[in-house]
Amino acid sequence: MKDPDRIALVTGASRGLGAALAEALAAAGWHVLAVARTTGALEELDDRIKAAGGSATLAPMDITNADAMRHMCRSVHDRWGRVDLWAHTAIHAPPLAPAGHIAGKDWDRTVATNIHATGQLIPMVEPLMKAAPAGRALFFDDARAGQKFFGAYGASKAAQIALARSWQAENARLGPRICIDSPAPMPTTLRARFYPGETPERLTPCREEAARILAAHLPAAGS
C-alpha cells in the first residue's frame, strides 16, 4: 500500500462511536490506525472497512500500557511521520454507585483509563499531530459530572475534558487544533450499562452521530 494522504488514529475503535468514526473516515479515504483492547472486535471492524474499500492498521493494545502506546507512536513516526487526526473515544465505565460506595478497583481502573492514560497519550501524540499540515484531535464530553451515582465516571470524564480544554487553549494560535464535542445519546454498550432499560431505537445511531461530528469538526473528512 502506498503511503496514505491522511492518517487517523482512533483510540477505542472497536465498538460504538469509535468504530463508527473509524468506518466513516476509512470510507472517506483516510487510513485508520485502530486501537482497542479487543482483538476480535478490531478484526470485525477491519473486515467492514475493507469490504467498503477502505484501509486500516489494527493495534490491539490497552491505552493504559504506556510502553505499548509509546512503541506504537514511534512506529507511526517511523512509517508515516505524522497523525492528521486523533479521535479519542477510549473510555472505562465503572458500575454506577453512590460516591461513598465506589469500589477501589473500579476507581483505580477508571482513573487509569480516563485520566492517567489520556495525560500520557497527549505528549506522545502531539508531536505527530504537529508534524501534520493541519493536525487536530477530537475529544468527547458527555457531561455526567455531578449526577447521582456517576461519581467515578463523571469525575474522571470532567478531568479528562479539563485537560483537553487546557491543551486546546495552549495550541489555539499555532495548532494542533483540539476539538471537543458533546455527542447525542447513542445505543452503545457503555450507555446500556448506565441505562439498561432504555429503548435503543429512540437513540441516535452511531453512524449518524459520527457523520455529524466529522462534518462539524473535520470538513475535509467528507472530501
> Which pLDDT band, with edges at 50, 70 and 90, does 47 fall under?
very high
The 10s digit of each residue's pLDDT in 109-118 is 999 999 999 9
Separation CA 111–CA 106 (nearest Å) = 9
Query: Taking residues 17-24, what's their average pLDDT?
Result: 98
- Please, are residues 66 and 120 in contact by the beta-carbon 8 Å criterion? yes
Residue located via cell numbers 475534558: 161
pLDDT of residue 130: 97
By the 10 Å C-beta count (0-12 exposed, 13-18 middle, 19+ buried), 62 is classed as middle
Distance CA 16, CA 138 (A): 15
Q: What counts of helices (H) and strands (E) characterise the chain?
A: 8, 6
Q: Give the residue among 184, 173, 172 at the shortest CA–CA distance from 216.
A: 184
Q: Cis before residue 176, ω within 30 degrees of 0?
A: yes
Q: Class of 7-222 per CATH?
A: alpha beta
Per-residue pLDDT tens digits for 144-196: 888 999 999 999 999 999 999 999 999 999 999 999 999 999 999 889 889 98
Residue entry with cell 506504537: 72
**Beta bridge pairs of residue 8:** 32, 85
Confidence band for 64, pLDDT divided at 50, 70 and 90? very high
Task: Tell me the whole-structure pTM to 2 decimals.
Answer: 0.94
The structural domains of the chain, with segments of one domain joined by +, span 7-222
Q: How much is the pLDDT for 223?
A: 40
